Structure 1
């Protein structure tokens, strides 16, 4: 175990073996002029784990979620969004929204081109305003082309911008935390961040009430 100083006290966490960079500056965040666009008070030279834990400890949850979405590899990040999206489901969830989540989960289990394109098709059948639909988009934008699968062969491929998956994962998780019960958002954020930490450590992120813990 390692101890990370958060500014609000020491937090004991496992080693984040899935995070491959040593500095926040190297996470691939969008740029603001000549430097990465960072949360206030976060140094480009800071270790991602330390920055995320400090933000979470200060209840700056959306910023912590965003940094962790960029810190995780795309497949693990989409799995994290799958867990948050599944926690957001209820008995009134439309079948088309559930299909988005199932398509994203299928891509995580086997991230091949056919399943990436299936995520596009799932989102096309519903409005992309739910955590599940955003999660499917995050998988669809993980590689390949932004051009829909049904487009004519003469349409040139358009590779997705590298940060699209991370940005969309962060949006999905924030939406899953705040939409249904704004007053309960802090508890949801803490739950989702606990799952994200576990995934960063190499775990499945599974918790009570989440999807089955098939390791991505």
Structure 2
């Protein structure tokens, strides 16, 4: 298939998608979209939500970081970032747990939105922040990765969530989180991606 076009901004979740692109080693052309009119202009043809990241690969348009991670793992199987189909239970479980309950729980906590009534908590999908955080901490405990002994695309997404959460204080600095974040970011692809995005930030300063 054709080269990937990567729409991003270094001050966004585009960092997750770039990390994944570096992991699979696929050639890509980046298009930096600035916040404001640029993101709400012709870019809406790519993503009607007017947010980054997005990738275009041939005729395929993929938005949402978890979806981009899963898509790239499948599109570039030689990178070995997705388990065999009959072993993808934990892979899908934790990839989408982070995209759903974790994302919602962290965002609501950051905005100081809480629901105290235990019965109403069941309507939230994630229950409450503490339950969600403790569940994730258990999933990343040990010395392996979230879907088993091998690093996968799920670790890119989950790892980014945990790393940012610990760094910016939106998640507790649990020992499990700190150790897992160190494990998943100690990779050449992560360092390459970070250097590229940090250079873009510096250039825009």
TM-score by length of 1: 0.31
TM-score by length of 2: 0.32
